[in-house]
Amino acid sequence: MQKLQDIAVRVEATDGLPLNHSNATPILHEILHALQRLLNEQESTTIDLRALPFGPGDEEELLNQLGTGEIRVELNSLGRSLITETAYSGVWLVDHRNADDQRIALQIEITPIPSILKAQNEDVQDAIERLEDSLNPSCTETAGP
């Protein structure tokens, strides 16, 4: 009778990624499909990592697989937000923290540029008004005798 330790087992990699049982691999596949939609249909996708059931080490493994790209932006508004391009163009890691530096959101955005970096119409309107005011100062001089 053959014993369990006598059975040959071969582990193979799939899609160039290590074969594992973590949640990182399915998310990487989801990112791949989202990149294809972005290229073919101009459809952006957001993946909320805080809503996913990560096991120990899953988040770290995913972030290691994604790597780091050339762009990193830090915003300070009601807390710190870090927007980091991954090693894959169009895949962004967006990490929002509150004023106490506690993470309140962690997302992957598959998009040409993350939505938080786009100027909002209200902000552009405010910029127009402020620039017009600085270019056209009120006449405060009074005519003298």
| E strand map for the chain | 45-48, 72-76, 80-85, 91-97, 103-110
Q: What is the largest CA-CA distance in the chain?
A: 119
pLDDT in tens, 61-110: 999 999 999 999 999 988 999 999 999 999 999 999 999 999 999 999 99
pLDDT in tens, 7-58: 665 555 555 544 455 789 999 999 999 999 999 999 999 999 999 888 889 9
**pTM of this structure:** 0.74
Of residues 60, 67, 66, the one with CA closest to residue 22: 60
pLDDT in tens, 104-130: 999 999 999 998 899 999 999 999 999
Q: Give 23-26 contacts, CB < 8 A, sequence gap 24+.
A: 23/52, 23/53, 23/54, 23/55, 23/58, 23/62, 24/58, 24/61, 24/62, 24/65
Assess contact for 30 and 49: CB atoms under 8 A: no
What pLDDT score was predicted for residue 137?
Answer: 78
Reply yes or no on whether the pLDDT at 141 is more than 60: no
What pLDDT score was predicted for residue 140?
Answer: 44
